[in-house]
Chain A
Amino acid sequence: MQGKMKLRYAMVCASNQNRSMEAHALLQKRGFNVSSYGTGAHVKLPGPSIREPNIYKFGTPYRSMFEDLKRKDPELYKRNGLLQMLKRNVAVKEAPQRWQENAADGVFDVIFTFEARVFDIVIEDLQNRDLGLMKSVLVVNIDVKDNHEGAAIGARLALEFCRLLETVDTWEDEIDNVVQKFEKQHRRRPIYSVGFY
């Protein structure tokens, strides 16, 4: 399956927990070559109250977060779905990765973000890297809410968009059509930009 896909994808959200991971899991399942990242300074998960979030460093394994939360308040975190989410994440990869710190992961063809702020950060980061490889990269943003439903919607939209991208020869020539088609089908208008490695 993977052999058929031409492009390499990155899914990016703030904490590399919910939206990007949902999309990562889904696309991976569908045979895409995909990675995921977060752009925040830390990994933030909701806590008992809005002022007491759980904060982790990027690179902390999902497994230890899972155990940490389970230890703290299994009831609460089961109820708000965090434990299930972390469990899903464990199955996908080891630990959340920060976009800015993982330039070594190499060149992506398409970067998908789920929040305008993240989109801007990614673009700026790409500009700052300036490797001079002259390799273009498509950065696409679709805004979705950072909750479980939103993530599920976002992942589906990302999948659909990536599928459309796979159908064209070169996205550089077709991106406007792809966006148009996508908008027609899903009533969402993705914003895109073009960066360079």
Chain B
Amino acid sequence: MEMVGMIATSRFREEAISYLNDAKLHTDTSAKTNMLKRLKEILLHRDPSLLNEFIPYLLELQTERSAPMRNYLVQMIQEICLKYPEQISKVAPVLLTLIHDDVPAVARHAISTSSSLFRITFEQVALQGIYSGQLDAKLQESWEWMTTLKDAMYSASKEHKNDGVRLLAIKFIEMVILLFTPEPNGSTQPPPVPQKSEKTAFNVAWLHGGHPVLDVGSLGQEASRNLSLLLDQLRGTEVLKIPGPVAVVLVNSLASIGKQRPSLYGRVLPVLLGLVPNWEVIKGVQATSSIAQALKNAFLNLLKCTHSGAGPWRERVVSALKRMKEGDAAEPIVNQAKAEKLQAVDRARPTQENGIMDEHPGKRARLSPAQADSREGKSGCGMENYGGSVDAELDTDLSKALDSIRTLLAKGEEAVTSVDCYIARISAEVLADVVIENMKNLPHLPPAVSPRATSETKSGLPFNLGVPFSAVDTLEQSLVSSFSGQSFASSIHPPELVPITSDHRRDPRRDPRRVELHHMDLSADVKLEESVVDVPNSSSTDTIVHMGEESFSTPSADEQMSFIPGISQTHVSKETKDISIDGPVNTVGMSLVTASEAPQIHNVAISLPNLTGPSSPQPISSPLHNSVQQVDAIDEVKPLVSIAVESVPSSVAVVGLKDEVQGVALSGATFQCASTPVPVVFLNTDEQIVLWKVLLQRILGSHKQVASSGGNELRFTLLARFLLGSDADDEVWEILLTHILADYQNHRGHDLVLHTLYHLYADQRSPKGESNGGALTPFAYEKFFLSVAEGLRDTLPPTDKSLSKLLGEAPVLPMTALELLEGLCNPRVKIKDGLEAPVVERITQGLSAVWSLILMRPPVRSECLHIALKCTVHELEEVRTKAIRLVANKLYPLNYISQSIEDYAMKMLHTVLDMGNHDLNGTVDSPANDVLELQDSKADQVTDRGPNSRTSVSDQYVANENSGEEEEHKNGKILVSVHEAQRCMSLYFALCTKKHSLLREIFDIYERSPKAVKQAVHKHMPVLIRTIGSSSLDVLQIISNPPAGSKNLIFLVLHVLTELSAPPPELIAAVKQLYESRIKDAKLLVPILSSLSKEEVLPIFPRLVALPAPDFKGALDRILQGSVHTGPALTPAEVLIAIHGIDPERDHVPLSMVKDACAVCFQQRTVFTQQVLAKVLNQLVEQTPLPMLFMRTVIQAVGSFRSLVSFVMEILSRLVSKQIWKWPNLWIGFLKCAEQTQPHSFHVLLQLPALHLEKALIRHPNIRVPLTKHASKPAVRSTLPRSTLLVLELAQDVVPSETVQSTPADVSTPASNPDAETQVSESAKTGHLA
């Protein structure tokens, strides 16, 4: 049984291997996928034990060029993992790569697969942890991979250039949010026993009992961050920027989240409702009208929610729906009226409508005028409604807000919920102002704070801030949590909140910036500010950027400043832990700016205060803590420290901001912060550099957070600028390089490298670049490029496409990069016994890179082509084959290079003619030379090299080939030559299959070629001809009119062409023409014989018989085989008869050849069966005169088939009756046959007339005795004539005359010569007759 199993396994394994290979080798995509389907069938259903072995091979398919293949790979991965989840950790890296696939369909499939795998794994992890309290290593590994995948999808949801991919990524986030948050209606306890059935939906609430890996709290936090990620994309008019389907899916997803998760309802709805004021704009824009519909549906859906959290929102949703149905024109007025009406209805929240309304004008104003314009251009209506006098509005908003809070709070405890709701609804802008206003009212001493809040604050902050801060934090925290709509029922609202004065509202935020600016060189600042701000405006999602904005806003940029705090709420909440908030108080900021406009000055401004959450400042503050001792002072002296380093050329400035916090913290509500002196610390150059590096490492290290919040693009740009601005030494580049290469895929190495390269390039190009601190040598670009390329080559597997992508997308290719490529493609290996696998894969990698470069980078096209061409004559066949495949299949069809390829191939072909003729003198080991040459000419003219220089290079190649071959000549002449000839000709042969007209050249040179070359041609030709086929006109032309001396080659070609299938009529015609006009060689006709008719074959039959035996045999086979349609030209019998019909004299065929032909026939006993022979003999015996070889054939027939004896005897009797003795040659044969067939022949012999019997007995005396014995049998004897008996001496009767007459003659004959016998018998006959 086991045995059977093993056999089956090995059989499946073999099958699987062959499918896999076929899948890789096939060129046709559908065939490829078919193979994979079968393979999958085996792996999944027949013998899953093979999975472990095959998965690595399958994963290699990720580098397949054809997208359907990659797509199918994803399909396989999915099916495999759904059935065998333990494989997930193996396949996850591939999914990770394919998520970023260039083909959207593949990326989409990868994402949907990842999603389902994520869900499965998550639930498995959760359940296993719940039930067994621990996770097995395998599952844990899978889970880690899934987490990585999840992060990748987060960034895809925001950044992916393809909308379809984004849709799925958003859907994925929705799924994660739902997975990570408890289902309110589900059971909060896991089922007591692990269930296999899927009936009970998994609920994250089960995890409350504890889990080794998962933590409900952090899952919830992640869900909350994700929700922000989705919400942010819809805030304000963001929705107009994103593509329609994305917006629709966002709205749908959010609605579905809100509906299913009451806890998030309050966060979702404000954002959705926030879209309503933009309703007309959205509806007006054509592409977004569907969003409106989606929004309406979302509201309707959300209205259906019955849980308590939804209650308070009902009216607002209803009114929003009503509003959405309003006509276009009346909109503003109606809104006003509506708002008023609403206010009347809902007295508890008198200003909420305004709050909502105002959120958007506020945001809108953040746009630069240019953006607003473009937006207006897009939307085409009504923007001015929103862009009005912002400050005025804000002021009124603020006082309204304060009023209403005051009113609410006055109601006492029971109003707390109303306050929460209110706060949750007012715009971040207004809320921020409210907070600032209330800062002034903080007590000098902190109120009692819950220990939890304090500890959280402390643990989160980089420094131990002064006690007063805890109080502020706590306050903030409470505000935030209520803002974000989470249920909040504590009573932390300090009563001091209520009294308010509003005059200084703005001061706290503006002053510090002014202060800061005073500390810096103003002109530089302005430039700095410009250089930063133009970037962030385009996509204002990155925390870093916001900070930059804040820190560097100029005093004149009032508007900008006033809106920053409100906006950044969302971003900070993404990044930080619970307590993170920024109201107006937030000025923690880091800004890394490269001031390319401001020569000699590099500023890094870091401000390090205070209230906000830990995560964003952390990367900066910590290194400072370590490297700059002064920072320690922060802990002790003041809650706020500023360090400012004014920069001399290339310096690092750390500027601490004087912040309002101080004022708040000191709590006396005095705002004289501007006058506080700021300590300035100067760093020396070394310190600066150290700081730089630490900074860089920090920034690089934080890639994950940035990526998951979707800020990658911006980050790359900033990083690149940052690096460029650094005056640090090479180490900075090495740090970057190490980071990139550490995990090229996940660190988004490609994007980062490209950004950096482009900046380097631009810098190098610009005239100013030279003066940029001298940090960048002119070779910086090249150096960085090369080190990345080499790094990629050395760290990534050869199957990875990153290198090729880099080469393809870099701004410009330095010469050194081409050298690197050259090195990949043409490894200098002198080992004759093949290459190691990795080297071969490297060659593939190099060649595919070359290919894409040729396609994508015209300036280096000819250089790349040369690398490829050079590879096609590489001494190692493996290399050569790959290169030729590339050149012939992929490059040759490109019309802009096909001529160059052809020329080169032709040149190489002609070199073989000289083989063995050239002298040894000019031998130089020149590949190295070659590169030099290439390089030199490049240096002169990097981008534009004409075809002339190319040709000269190829000339050189030719010279090289010759010289290289020269050396080998000394070793083993012939063998090496054949090899060499193949080396030079392979490319040409490959091209012939693409362009048949090239074929003639081979025939042309054939005659002049040395023997080795001919051998090589003979070796190549069959393959070539088989590929081209007989239908090619060029082939036919060559056949009907071949160049002189190419006869043998023609034979070969014909042979190959007719080998497998019947020759087409055109080919037959061509051959006939050739036979008739040029080459009178029947051998030529052999290949087409099967297609000729009987009438055509018979006339040339003697010529065929005259061919050497092997050729005749071939001809015979073809004649007998015939074509499928017409059947054989001649039957075997007809063949034999035709052979017998040949007259040596008339047909000029030597008799021996005819005999040979007969022999050939007799050798084929299966064809020339005894029936055939009988038939032939029957016909031949009727011929008059009898064919010359008749008796010979009879003898052979009976020799071959003993059973023919009786039939032969009949023939012999017929011969007797035909008086066979009259043909002397045949008579001898007759007797010989009779002798050989005795005793069967006795009765025939006895039929002979006595005279001839006697002669026979004389000729073959050994038969006399048995014959006599036979004749003496009474039955026989009685039938015999007396004369016969006399001859046999069975009768005593004396007939002297006859006996005497004949005896002397008979006696004399054998003694003399055999020829005499005829004469004698002739004379005897005549005598007898006479």
Contacts from A to B (Cβ < 8 Å): 116, 119-120, 123-124, 127, 132-136, 141, 169-173, 175-176, 179-180, 183, 189, 191-196
Contacts and interface: CB of A to CB of B under 8 A. Distances in A.
A29 to B, nearest CB: 28
A195 B248 CA distance: 9
Nearest to B113: A134
Contacts of B172: 134
B1073 to A, nearest CB: 44
A116 B297 CA distance: 11
Given A134-B111, A172-B167, A179-B287, A193 B294 contact: yes
A173 B242 CA distance: 12
B289 A172 contact: no
Contacts of A196: 171
A193 B168 contact: no
A127 B298 CA distance: 11
Nearest to B175: A132
A189 B244 CA distance: 14
B252 interface: yes
Given A172-B104, A191-B289, A192-B245, 7 more contacts: A123-B297, A127-B252, A134-B111, A134-B115, A175-B245, A176-B243, A176-B287
B1189 to A, nearest CB: 65
B68 to A, nearest CB: 13
Contact of B248 (A127, A135, A169, A194): A194
A185 to B, nearest CB: 13
Interface string B168-200: 100110010000000000000000000000000
B168 A179 contact: no
A194 B245 contact: yes
A134 B117 CA distance: 11
Q: Which of B104, B167, B289, B290 has the most CB of A within 10 A?
A: B290
A170 B290 CA distance: 18
B290 A173 contact: no
B1115 to A, nearest CB: 48
B98 to A, nearest CB: 14
A101 B294 CA distance: 24
Contacts of B404: none
A179 B289 CA distance: 10
B512 to A, nearest CB: 44
Nearest to A169: B104
Given A134-B111, A170-B105, A191 B290 contact: yes
Contact of A180 (B112, B256, B287): B287
10 shortest interchain CB distances as A-B pairs: A172-B164, A134-B112, A176-B287, A176-B244, A191-B293, A192-B290, A173-B163, A134-B115, A172-B163, A194-B249
Contact of A194 (B116, B167, B256): B167
B104 A173 contact: yes
B116 A134 contact: yes
Contacts of A170: 104-105, 162, 164
Residue of A124, A133, A175, A179 most packed against chain B (CB within 10 A): A175
B301 interface: yes
Given A132-B119, A134-B115, A193-B290, A173 B164 contact: yes
Nearest to B112: A134
Interface string B238-262: 0000011100110010001000000
Interface in B244-301: 244-245, 248-249, 252, 256, 286-287, 289-290, 293-294, 297, 300-301
Contacts of A136: 164, 167-168, 171, 249
Contacts of B115: 132, 134
Contacts of B256: 127
B17 to A, nearest CB: 32
Contacts of A169: 104
A195 B116 CA distance: 17
Contacts of A124: 297, 301
Contacts of B287: 176, 179-180
Interface residues of B, number: 33
Most chain A beta-carbon contacts within 10 A, residue among B105, B111, B119, B244? B244
Contacts of B111: 134
Contacts of A179: 244, 286-287, 290
Interface string B1159-1171: 0000000000000
Interface string B111-138: 1100110010000000000000000000
Contacts of A119: 293
5 contacts: A127-B301, A172-B165, A183-B286, A193-B294, A196-B171
B168 A134 contact: yes
B245 A176 contact: yes
A175 B244 contact: yes
B286 A189 contact: yes
Q: Which of A136, A179, A195 has the most CB of B within 10 A?
A: A136
A195 B856 CA distance: 38
Contacts of B165: 172
A189 B167 CA distance: 22
Contacts of B243: 173, 176
Interface in B614-671: none
A160 B164 CA distance: 22
Contacts of B297: 120, 123-124, 193
Nearest to A191: B293
B260 to A, nearest CB: 10
Of the candidates A123, A170, A194, A196, the one having the most CB atoms from chain B within 10 angstroms of its own CB is: A194
Contact of B252 (A171, A180, A189, A194): A194
B310 to A, nearest CB: 17
A191 B251 CA distance: 15
B519 to A, nearest CB: 49
Contacts of A116: 293
Nearest to B249: A194
Contacts of B112: 133-135
B293 A173 contact: no
Nearest to B250: A194
A192 B246 CA distance: 12
Nearest to A123: B297
Nearest to B120: A132
Given A124-B301, A134-B112, A175-B244, A189 B289 contact: yes
A193 B287 CA distance: 12
Nearest to A130: B256
Nearest to B256: A127
Contacts of A176: 243-245, 287
Nearest to A135: B112
Nearest to A184: B286
Nearest to B304: A124
Contacts of A123: 252, 297
Nearest to B289: A189
Nearest to B115: A134
A132 B301 CA distance: 20
A106 to B, nearest CB: 16
Contacts of A192: 244-245, 248, 290
Contacts of B248: 192-194
Contacts of A180: 286-287
Interface string B774-806: 000000000000000000000000000000000
A176 B104 CA distance: 17
A43 to B, nearest CB: 26
Interface in B100-115: 104-105, 108, 111-112, 115
Contacts of B301: 124, 127
B46 to A, nearest CB: 26
B171 A134 contact: yes
A116 B165 CA distance: 28
Given A133-B112, A179-B287, A193 B164 contact: no
A127 B112 CA distance: 17
Contacts of A191: 289-290, 293
Contacts of B252: 123, 127, 193-195
B176 to A, nearest CB: 12
Interface in B860-907: none
B573 to A, nearest CB: 28
